Structure 1
Amino acid sequence: MKALWSGTISFALVAIPAKLYAATEEHAVRLHEIHVADNSRVEHRRFCRSEGREIPYEEVGRGWQTPDGRVVVLTDKDLAHLPLPTKRVAEVLGFVRGHDIDPISYGQPYYVGPDGPSADRPYTLLVEALARTGYVGVCKIAIRSRERVALLRPRHGLLICQTLLWQDELREPGDLAPSAPVTDRELEITELLMRELIGVELRELHDDYGHALKQLVTAKVSGGELVEPPTPAPLADLMAALEQSIRAARAERGDQPPTAPVAT
């Protein structure tokens, strides 16, 4: 794997030369943009407004616009000398319990690898200490021209750098939460249904969008028709829906017939 960041992870006086690698990759199915009149591909070009012409990539730079409208050009050399310590050092600011971090803040995960033999012992020490205590390290790090707050956490003997969103990047939900009251009986039967459905084998789950898209394309080419899966209609009676769901879950496991009464 190609390293995306190299530098030092430090906590107190302990320094660990390290490199970061992408821990995930998306396998998205991408559709082409086309001109619907003739099905030809659509291209996106770099266009200079002032000169009214398309320009090559070699003429594209980056700049910062000041409040008075002036544009300050920033070259790669300028950005390389950016006075930002986190470009090369991810200093642990402190340790917190992992469960105290709201998952809504989670960003991108990266594998952290030791950079050289001298990093092996302190790297292993930090991973083992985090695993034993349940703590995660909080640091700041600059990756791909952006500084992020991040967590250092253990996973299968490795160190993971999990970036987080800044607090001002989290949106308030407003009044999305409903205020409808529920009864104790409804809560009991819902908790019973949850216990019947405990356990999901994530390795067996797959993205079916690509398969469905191929079926759609095949049908369009052959002139056939697709049969869309039925949309389940919710039962008007909430308790009846919960009890029927429990019976169905038990029947699927083979515990008892779906017509058996639901007992708590």
Structure 2
Amino acid sequence: MASRAIWKGQLRLSLVSIPVEIHSARKSSSRVSFRQIHGPSGKPVRYQKTVQGVGPVESDDIMKGYETDDGEYILLDKDEIDAIKLETKKTLELVQFVDSAEIAPIWFDRPYYVVPSDELAEDAYRVVRDALRQTKKAGLGQLTMRGKEYLCAIRPCGDGLLLETLHYQQDIRDADPLFSGIEDAASDEELLEVATQLIDRKTAPFDASAFEDHYAAALRDLIAAKMKSSKTPRAKASDDGESGGGENVVDLMDALKKSLKQSRSGKTTRRKKAS
């Protein structure tokens, strides 16, 4: 499946602007995922937004509420929030450079790939990549996506650029209260020597492929074994539609998967009319 950009805009270095796209560097499809199923009926558990004393509500009627110290909610409409104009919605400007090793691991949040939007942008993109590679620096800037402004660090990654969102200072908990009870005394010399020898013996170049998610593998083995057993409780995935109280709840993902399966087999489907 082709990757879809989650942000499109300009990567700016001084007066140079480079059209770029940002793609997530993480894969979610590799994880084992489950749906909650109601045991007695075998139907998926669904969640509905409700208001006490009112019942189910429409998404269009939901507003953002900021709770004040007086116990009131300041109501904001989605359009009012979207109207906030920030340059970082469309521009990621590199405003500072630091040594890559200077940013401690605790500051890193999520990784993303930065790619040029078209062939015309590739020359300038390569210049920025090579300059960061040669100086061993990371560029710092900010961008807005998914309703939040992120602090970002950009550095070379293979033939391209890697963007990593960073935590803001106020997001990191102070470690002193947790570590203050640990005495800053010298370690036993003999024990320290044994520990350093053990570290040296086990030191090797980092290779992520050498590690496996054993829990996910065990889950897949369990699922495979359960699929082979005739004693395994089962629920029909096709028995997903529910009607009642004048409401039809449609699982979009299931509907799309069914449509795709039927289109491959050359069958046509009829649209269900909402009751």
Cα deviation for residue 36 of structure 1 reads 6.7
2:178 counterpart SS class = coil
Q: Does 1:61 align with 2:62?
A: yes
C-alpha separation between the residues in 2 aligned to 1:152 and 1:15?
15
Matches within 5 A, 1:147-162: 147-162=149-164
Distance 1:65 1:201 in 2: 46
User: What is the RMSD computed on CA atoms of the aligned residues?
Assistant: 2.6
Alignment of 1:18-167 (within 5 A): 18-26=20-28, 27-34=30-37, 41-51=44-54, 53-57=55-59, 59-65=60-66, 67=68, 69-75=72-78, 77-167=79-169
Matched, 1:209 2:212: no
Q: Which residue of 2 aligns with 1:248?
A: none
Percent of residue pairs bearing the same amino acid type? 24
Structure 1 position 116, deviation (Å):
2.6
State the distance in 2 between where 1:171 and 1:127 align. Answer: 33
SS at match of 2:219: helix
Moved over 6 A (4+): 36-39
Q: What amino acid is aligned across from residue 164 of structure 1 in structure 2?
A: L
Q: TM-score, normalised by structure 2?
A: 0.71
User: Distance between the aligned counterparts of 1:44 and 1:170, measured in 2?
Assistant: 32
Count of residue correspondences = 220
State the shift of 1:31 in Å: 3.7
Return the TM-score normalized by structure 1.
Answer: 0.73
The unaligned stretches of length 5 or more in structure 2 are: 232-275
Pair 1:201–1:153, CA change in 2 (3 A): closer
Change (3 A) 1:116 1:61: farther
Which residue in 1 is equivalent to 2:18?
A: 16
Q: Contact between 2:32 and 2:220, CA under 8 Å: does it hold in 1?
A: no
**Residue of structure 1 equivalent to 2:199:** 194
Secondary structure at 1:175 match in 2: helix
Deviation at 1:145, TM superposition (A): 0.8
Structure 1 unaligned segments of length 5 or more: list them: 224-264
